[in-house]
């Protein structure tokens, strides 16, 4: 059972699905929004997975070229996002194989528990006296989130990026990464817990 | 979220499944009954929800907004060729 928002019945069609339908029908007005949307998404995914701007730009270009070269093979426009990200993931992996890998690191539930290292369950800003106002905290949340995403071990980061940033379903993420749905759920939960811990303080400013 | 309370620990371990609607109705009801009476769990659940929400809306400022004209032309050619193959098949 998966009640992820994208898979919920009755929800309006995602923009990229509508663009894909129109592109399959030959509608040129869907071309630019489709390309710009996916270029930004693929760049962001690769940028956060590889860490190199040049690699992210190349992967976005290579992925989009591959997508359009094989656009006649897109059978179900509803699956376009997962299809594009499967291609992007493969190009991203090729880039990463050319670079030095950090050894895989596991996050245990114990180390992520709020009481680990005396963290406490309450989100805290270090010093109340130096606490910035809510608007500043909200503005900094994006930067802090990007830093926290980069700090996640690869196996967790790839799942969090696909499930929570791109809002793909558990099944789609499992298919893209060639891992089981149980593995997606486990990595997602630990990745989320790690992000929550890193964002401590900044989340208080979010209503 | 009390470190030695088994119910709190169960929620800690399965909170994402709860938030993603992946628990059975019975498990969901059991979770909610506990959370209603546990202030630390309420706070933890809310903070994790906010963290997930922040990820949903994340857009890297480094991401390009527009496509270079030359790249766009090449992509359009590839798209046109794919559509032609689709019509022929």
User: Does A4 reside within a domain?
Assistant: no
Q: Considering CB atoms only, which of B12, B17, B55 is closest to A185?
A: B17
Distance from the Cα of B27 to chain A's closest Cα (Å) equals: 13
Give the pLDDT of residue A10: 63
User: Does A1 reside within a domain?
Assistant: no
Do the beta carbons of residue A50 and residue A99 sit within 8 Å? yes
Q: Are residues A125 and A199 in the same domain?
A: yes
- Map residue B55 onto helix, strand or coil: helix
User: Residues A25-29: contacts with CB within 8 Å, 24+ apart?
Assistant: A26/B83
Give the pLDDT of residue A156: 95
Give the pLDDT of residue A3: 42
What CATH number did the domain enclosing A199 receive?
1.10.10.10
Q: Are residues A69 and A116 in the same domain?
A: no
Give the pLDDT of residue A149: 94
Interchain contact B3–A (C-beta under 8 A): yes
Interchain contact B43–A (C-beta under 8 A): yes
Share above pLDDT 70 across residues of chain B, in percent, rounded to a whole number: 96
What is the extent of the structural domain holding A115?
Answer: 109-205
Q: What is the mean pLDDT of residues B35-40?
A: 89
pLDDT tens for the 207 residues of chain A, in order: 444 444 455 668 899 999 999 999 999 999 999 999 999 999 999 999 988 889 999 999 999 999 999 999 999 999 999 999 999 999 998 887 655 555 567 777 777 777 655 444 444 444 444 455 656 656 678 888 999 999 999 999 999 999 999 999 999 999 999 999 999 999 999 999 999 999 877 777 666
Domains identified in chain A, total number: 2
Do the beta carbons of residue B12 and residue A109 sit within 8 Å? yes
User: Does A41 reside within a domain?
Assistant: yes
User: Does A102 reside within a domain?
Assistant: no
Q: Considering CB atoms only, which of B3, B20, B74 is closest to A65?
A: B74
Q: What is the mean pLDDT of residues B9-32?
A: 91
Q: Are residues A114 and A201 in the same domain?
A: yes
Q: Are residues A88 and A133 in the same domain?
A: no
The per-residue pLDDT of chain B, averaged, comes to: 90
Q: Are residues A93 and A115 in the same domain?
A: no
Partners of B44 on chain A (C-beta within 8 Å) are 114, 121
Q: Give CA–CA dist A172/A168, Å, rounded.
A: 6
Q: Are residues A201 and A140 in the same domain?
A: yes
**Which domain-ending residue is among A37, A66, A97?**
A97
Q: What is the mean pLDDT of residues B3-27?
A: 88
- CB distance B60–A188 less than 8 Å? no
DSSP string, A85-127: HHHHHHHHHHHHHTSPPPPP-PPPHHHHSTTGGG--SS---S-
Secondary structure letter of residue A129 according to DSSP = G
Give the pLDDT of residue A5: 40
């Amino acid at each position: 059972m998966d009640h992820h928002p994208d898979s919920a019945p009755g929800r309006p069609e995602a923009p990229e699905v509508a663009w894909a339908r129109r592109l399959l029908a030959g509608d040129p007005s869907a071309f630019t929004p489709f390309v710009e949307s996916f270029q930004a998404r693929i760049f962001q995914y690769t940028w956060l997975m590889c860490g190199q701007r040049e690699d992210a730009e190349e992967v976005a270009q290579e992925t989009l070229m591959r997508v359009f070269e094989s656009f006649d093979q897109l059978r179900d426009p509803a699956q376009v996002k997962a299809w594009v990200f499967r291609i992007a993931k493969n190009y991203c992996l090729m880039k990463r194989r050319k670079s030095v890998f950090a050894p895989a690191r596991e996050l245990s539930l114990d180390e992520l528990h709020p009481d680990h290292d005396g963290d406490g369950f309450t989100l805290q800003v270090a010093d109340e006296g130096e606490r910035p106002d809510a608007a500043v905290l909200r503005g900094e949340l994006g930067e802090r989130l990007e830093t926290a995403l980069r700090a996640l071990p690869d196996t967790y980061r790839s799942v969090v990026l696909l499930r929570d940033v791109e809002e793909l379903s558990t099944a789609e993420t499992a298919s893209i990464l060639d891992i089981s749905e149980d593995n997606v759920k486990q990595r997602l939960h630990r990745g989320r817990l790690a992000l929550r811990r890193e964002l401590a303080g900044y989340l208080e400013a979010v209503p | 979220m009390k470190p030695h309370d088994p119910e709190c620990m169960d929620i800690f371990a399965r909170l994402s499944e709860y938030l993603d609607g992946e628990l059975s109705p019975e498990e969901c009801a059991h979770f909610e009954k506990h959370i209603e009476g546990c202030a630390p769990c309420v706070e933890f659940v809310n903070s994790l929800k906010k963290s997930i929400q922040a990820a949903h809306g994340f857009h890297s400022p480094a991401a390009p907004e527009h496509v270079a004209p030359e790249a766009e032309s090449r992509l359009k050619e590839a798209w046109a060729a794919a559509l032609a193959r689709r019509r022929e098949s």
